[in-house]
């Protein structure tokens, strides 16, 4: 894949980006490139038929299929899309109703797949790789297995000591895993069992491990936010719904990651918060095509 995605950006998006679970994904997409948004595969095929892949700068290198529910896009429809644009990489954005599809259903193959709650971190990370002249995960052969994709994206190196991360986790094993993950980006970590006061100063970031941010956990999170003061907090939730993420953010979480999570996702959020980076603001335009 060349780097024209950055210099002459075009992203073809199929689906409804106005859904509540897609708002963060929509922001990352709009910050990357002007979008052409269509409702379904038939409209996408009609738009592609009007483009000439050899000379038209609007021809997409990336096609994002935003799937709101299982079965919305059939494997047959995705096959027609691949035949129409065989060189384009196909990225699957799965909505909240698709969280269990990989376990109980038969998801169609994609070059890059992420749930709505995973998308902002992973897509932004892969875009950064592309801008830096490196191959993103969607640039790997479509035959690449999951373990090969994980090895390809494991590009974080240990760094000198950068400060202290506080971990709130009910289970010691999880706390140790998180502490090890912090160590890989050069941070020391201290485990604060639930109910314990903060025993150290100089905490830069907090990691709060929970389940669904119910009423009890929301109260705990508010208390932890008050204890840590200015330190931003990453909340880890089990297969969160939109309302779970909203409760965590309203209680003071600076970021929400879903479990099970990839190590690189956690590293990416830690890096962003440690360096004080904000998420990119959507600047690109959007063309929304409707049925004729």
In degrees, rounded to 5, the angle at the alpha carbon of residue 138 between the alpha carbons of residues 134 and 143 is 115
Q: 35-44, 174-183, 194-203, 249-258: which range is least confident on average?
A: 194-203
Reported as a single tens digit per residue, the pLDDT across 122-157 is: 888 888 777 777 888 888 876 676 667 777 776 555
Residue 208 reports pLDDT greater than 60: yes
Query: Residue 280 pLDDT > 60, yes or no?
Result: no
pLDDT over 60 at 2, yes or no:
no
Q: What is the mean pLDDT of residues 36-46?
A: 94
Of 55 and 162, the structure prediction assigns the larger pLDDT to: 162
Number of domains within the chain: 2
Based on the fold, state whether residues 147 and 184 are members of the same structural domain. Answer: no
**Do 204 and 231 form a contact (C-beta atoms < 8 A)?**
yes
Residue 150 sits in the same domain as residue 10:
yes
Whether omega before 45 lies within 30 degrees of 0, making that bond cis, reads no
How many other CB atoms are there within 10 angstroms of residue 63's CB atom? 26
Asked if residue 159 is part of any domain, the answer here is no
Whether 67 is in a domain gets the answer: yes
**Tens of pLDDT along 220-259?**
999 989 888 889 999 999 989 999 999 999 999 999 999 9
Tell whether 228 is covered by a domain.
yes
Task: Say whether pLDDT at 8 is over 50.
Answer: no
Q: Across all residues in the chain, what is the average pLDDT?
A: 83
User: Is 233 within the bounds of a domain?
Assistant: yes
By residue range, what is the domain housing residue 129? 4-154+281-288
Domain CATH number, residue 245: 3.40.50.2300
Residue 55 lies in a domain: yes
pLDDT at residue 262, as a whole number: 87
If asked whether residues 104 and 246 sit together in one domain, one would say no
Own/partner long-range contacts of 41-49 (Cβ < 8 Å, ≥24 apart): 41/14, 41/73, 41/77, 41/78, 41/80, 41/81, 43/14, 43/289, 43/290, 43/291, 44/12, 44/14, 44/81, 44/84, 45/80, 45/81, 45/84, 46/292, 47/12, 47/289, 48/12, 48/84, 48/85, 49/84
Q: What is the pTM of this model?
A: 0.65
The string of pLDDT tens digits covering residues 52-83 is 655 565 678 889 999 999 989 998 999 999 99
Helix (H) or strand (E) holding 288: strand 286-288
Q: Are residues 83 and 18 in the same domain?
A: yes
Clarify whether residues 184 and 211 are in a common domain. Answer: yes
- One domain, residues 126 and 241: no
- Residue 179 sits in the same domain as residue 115: no
């Amino acid at each position: 894949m060349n780097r024209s995605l950055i210099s002459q950006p075009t992203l073809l998006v199929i689906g409804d980006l106005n859904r509540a679970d897609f708002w963060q994904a929509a922001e990352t997409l709009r910050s990357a490139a002007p979008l052409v948004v269509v409702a379904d595969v038939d409209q996408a095929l009609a738009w592609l038929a009007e483009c000439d892949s050899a000379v038209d700068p609007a021809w997409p290198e990336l096609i994002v299929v935003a799937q709101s529910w299982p079965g919305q896009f059939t494997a047959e429809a995705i096959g027609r899309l691949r035949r129409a644009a065989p060189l384009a990489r196909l990225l699957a954005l799965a909505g909240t109703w698709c969280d269990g599809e990989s376990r109980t259903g038969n998801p169609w193959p994609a070059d890059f797949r992420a749930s709505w709650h995973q998308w902002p971190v992973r897509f932004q990370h892969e875009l950064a790789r592309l801008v830096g002249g490196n191959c993103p995960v969607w640039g790997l052969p479509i035959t690449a297995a999951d373990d090969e994709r994980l090895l390809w994206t494991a590009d974080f190196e240990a760094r000198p000591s950068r400060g202290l991360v506080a971990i709130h986790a009910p289970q010691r094993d999880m706390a140790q895993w998180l502490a090890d993950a912090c160590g890989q980006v050069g941070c020391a970590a201290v485990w604060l069992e639930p109910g314990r006061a903060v025993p150290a100063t100089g905490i830069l970031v907090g990691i709060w491990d929970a389940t669904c941010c119910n009423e009890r956990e929301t109260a705990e999170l508010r208390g932890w936010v008050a204890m840590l003061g200015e330190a931003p907090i990453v909340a880890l939730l089990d297969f969160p719904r939109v309302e779970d993420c909203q409760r965590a953010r309203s209680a003071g979480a600076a970021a929400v990651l879903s479990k099970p999570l990839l190590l690189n996702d956690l590293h990416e959020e830690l890096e962003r918060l440690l360096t004080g980076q904000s998420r990119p603001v959507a600047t690109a335009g959007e063309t929304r095509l409707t049925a004729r």
